[in-house]
Structure 1
């Protein structure tokens, strides 16, 4: 099986209204890098690829055939406090204050301009999750 560089076995694909706004949030608010963009004949974004850390996500403009849909994502960062603050400065809405969790993460929650929730998490221990 061949997986292109920068992609994982599962790659999130956001279908949203105002793809440009979500791309701006991913780049400015979450520190991503846009690596590719394809535009439809009507000017809408058919596919944009954004690199977030070790992962690539895709973004496309919704239409009649593919309506917008929100989801939830777990996003590992080096500094949860700084990452949540940055996301809030660039259009995110706080859904959970940053704090230390019993499972070894320091984490906060942010809703992006398209309604997706990001659990922004800094792993505080170098061990797997346990029950």
Structure 2
């Protein structure tokens, strides 16, 4: 099986209203880096943003491909700082940061495209 360099076997693909705005949020709010953007007229037909060691693909919704929000779990070095950065970039808090019984310090936000991000800082070195 061939998988492009820098990708994983499972790679999230987001279909959203306002892909350009979401790309800005992923870069400014979550510390991602834009790797690729193909534009067709006034829509983002395909884009790729790297978050840590993972690639995220996305595009603008169309009548044939409506927006489909999802939830993503993002490991971060500092959950409190990640939450502040995400909110400053336009996210809405859906769960305040707090220590969880499964060993993560975690909070949740909804991005401008309607997706939920669980921002999690691992507190223990070991399995759940």
TM-score range, shorter chain: over 0.9
1:117 maps to which residue? 116
**Total equivalences in the alignment:** 128
**Match in the other structure for 1:32:** 32
TM-score normalised per structure 2: 0.98
| Cα shift at 1:44 | 1.1
User: Residue 73 of structure 2 aligns with which residue?
Assistant: 74
Partners in 2 of 1:87 and 1:27 — Cα distance? 10
Residues 1:54 and 2:53 aligned together: yes
Aligned counterparts of 1:71 and 1:43: Cα–Cα separation in 2 = 24
Cα deviation, residue 46, structure 1: 0.8
TM-score computed with the length of structure 1 as normaliser? 0.95
Q: CA RMSD in A?
A: 0.7
Runs of 4+ in 1 over 3 A off after TM superposition: none
1:85 partnered with 2:84? yes
